[in-house]
Amino acid sequence: MSNDTFPFTSTSLRSLRLERELQEWEDARRAWAHRRAMTRDPLPRAPRPPPPQQQRRLQQVRAPPPQVLCRDAAVHNTFECGDMRGVYAVLKDPAMVHALMETVQEEMVWAPEMGMWTLSSKVKQTSALRLAAGRGHAGCVEELLFRGAEVNADPGGNTALHDACVGGHAVCVQLLLSHGADPEVLAADGSAPLHLCTSVQSLQCAELLIGGGADVSVRMRETRLTPLHVAARRALEEHVELFLRYGADVLATNQEGETPLNAACSAAERPSEAGRYLGVIQKLLGAGADPRTAGRKRHTPLHNACANCSPRIVDVLLQHGAKADVANCAGYTPMDCLIQVVEDYPGQQPEAIARSLLNHGAKTVSPKMLKQCVLSPATLEVLLNSYASLPPCEWMDSLPAEVYEERRSFFDLVRQRSAQPRSLQHLCRCAVRLRLRGRCFPAVRELDIPGSVRDYLLLRNDGTLL
């Protein structure tokens, strides 16, 4: 039996040959690395000045070798997938280290001169180093850098460091920085690597960039956004804490004059994310952010919070000095922004925001705007109780039948008491609130009066129309 031979198939023989070539390639690479580390070339002698007759001659400069252009999808996939066997095979040609990778994609583009959508070819450029770094293949990145890949090359407008930060690949970021990557290099769109740390996984990337000398307050070229703006808009609480710890300017404004606090308040649109944004806003306010700073359109963080119907964020802003009666360039106050979205957020306690705004000096809304609150009787009740006398409610005659039937008892009570005199107790409350204006909330809380009276003055009623 020992004299018998095992018949190998062609597939087995090919696999053995590839394994042997891979091993030989790896042995050669290690030997090359060892020689490179253990030996140094002697310094060349200082060049002698050329004779005078040769100085007059024009120096001949050799043009660099032409760059290889690769549109082979299989080669692109090799670096995107981090297939080291395929990488070694591709890099047998040394020019592939610096090859320009191109992809051609067909996209629908609107042609205004033709008035129709047309199919257009769009060419995108990248490099092997960018492809590997963007997918987090550290071994492939290390091999390319070892073979002399240009670490700060930006084919297509981005460097490998930008792509590594987008993906949150900290190991690749560390490799690139250790090989001389510029931590403040700007991409074609004007963004620095810190601006692209936009995910929870990219926190370590941001730490490495700052440790590598990146400016924590670097700005985008056109929008003037800082990394703190981006982190606040994405509700990245740990990123915000990191940037503030390293001296980020909490009062920095972008091209539109908005601060990171404005960015956080405007981005808190989903109720499910309000808690994350609240933590970011509290950290910004604790670091000295001014809730009264408005952008060029005079839109304050309080306007944004009311437009997103975020009760807890509104309360925090008001507690830190936000003005409840300030108007933007269109003449809208925070209360106006709230009333415009009451129908969109009936379950987000818009009545709590209306109550907080009135307690901090917001003016009584126009009776014409009350109709917009019919889907939120609690909000309508708070607004009606801010009048010294109920205004005429002719708008009730045009209510949809289903809305009126659903809340018949409440609307009948409003119609009954419309244009009728209010109680003396309610008139006293209106007089106190009119006198105190924006000082109502802090002043009433400090009065030595029973809690029930204090709650009454602060528009905290028991759900009845007074």
Tell me the DSSP string of 254-291: -TTS--HHHHHHHH--SGGGHHHHHHHHHHHHHTT--T
Average pLDDT of the residues of the chain: 84
pLDDT at 36: 58
pLDDT of 2 > 50? The answer is no
Choice between 155 and 423, residue whose per-residue pLDDT is larger: 155
Q: Is the pLDDT assigned to residue 446 strictly greater than 70?
A: no
| Residue 40 or 190, more confident | 190
Average pLDDT over residues 177-191: 95
- Region 358-380: mean pLDDT is 87
Give 210's contacts (C-beta < 8 A, 6+ positions apart): 194, 216, 242, 246
- Residue bearing the bigger pLDDT, 34 or 96: 96
- Of the two residues 396 and 206, the one the predictor is more confident about is 206
Mutual angle of helices 408-417 and 377-384, in 10-degree steps: 10
Mean pLDDT of 17-38: 71
Which range is most confident: 3-7, 68-72, 248-252? 248-252
Confidence at 34, pLDDT banded by 50, 70, 90? low
List pLDDT tens digits, range 188-243.
Answer: 999 999 999 999 999 999 999 999 999 999 999 999 999 999 999 999 999 999 99
Is residue 109 very low, low, confident or very high in pLDDT (cuts 50, 70, 90)? confident
Q: How many CA atoms lie within 13 A of 113 on its CB side?
A: 0
Report the residue count for the chain: 466
Better pLDDT: 429 or 391: 391
Q: Does position 357 have pLDDT exceeding 50, yes or no?
A: yes
- Which range among 50-64, 67-81, 94-108, 223-237 shows the weakest confidence by mean pLDDT? 50-64
Q: How crowded is the C-beta side of 271, counted as CA atoms within 13 Å?
A: 9
Q: Where is pLDDT greater, at 345 or 29?
A: 345
For residue 113, pLDDT over 80 is answered with: no
Name the range with the highest mean pLDDT among 52-56, 181-185, 453-457.
Answer: 181-185
**pLDDT of res. 465:** 45
pLDDT of residue 16: 74
Going by C-alpha positions, the residue among 415, 409, 372, 408 that lies closest to residue 394 is 415
- Cα separation, 199 vs 235, whole angstroms: 10
**Residue whose entry in the numeric block shows the structure tokens 């047998």:** 92
CA angle 216, 218, 223 (to 5 degrees): 135
Q: Among 12-16, 139-143, 268-272, 435-439, which is the least confidently predicted range?
A: 435-439
pLDDT score of 175: 96
Compare 145 and 22 and report the one with higher pLDDT.
145
* Predicted confidence (pLDDT) at residue 104 exceeds the cutoff of 70: yes
Kindly report, as residue ranges, where domains of CATH 1.25.40.20 are found in the chain. 66-180
pTM across the whole model: 0.77
Mean pLDDT within 56-80: 73
Instruction: Evaluate if residue 5 carries a pLDDT over 70.
Output: no
Residue 367 CA to residue 381 CA, distance in Å, equals: 13
Assess if CATH 1.25.40.20 describes domain 66-180: yes
pLDDT, mean of residues 448-454: 59
Q: Looking at residues 344-366, what average pLDDT do you find? A: 88
**Whole-number Cα distances in Å, 260 to 85, 146, 222, 281, 408:** 47, 41, 17, 9, 45
SS3 content of the chain, % helix, strand, coil (to 5): 55, 5, 40
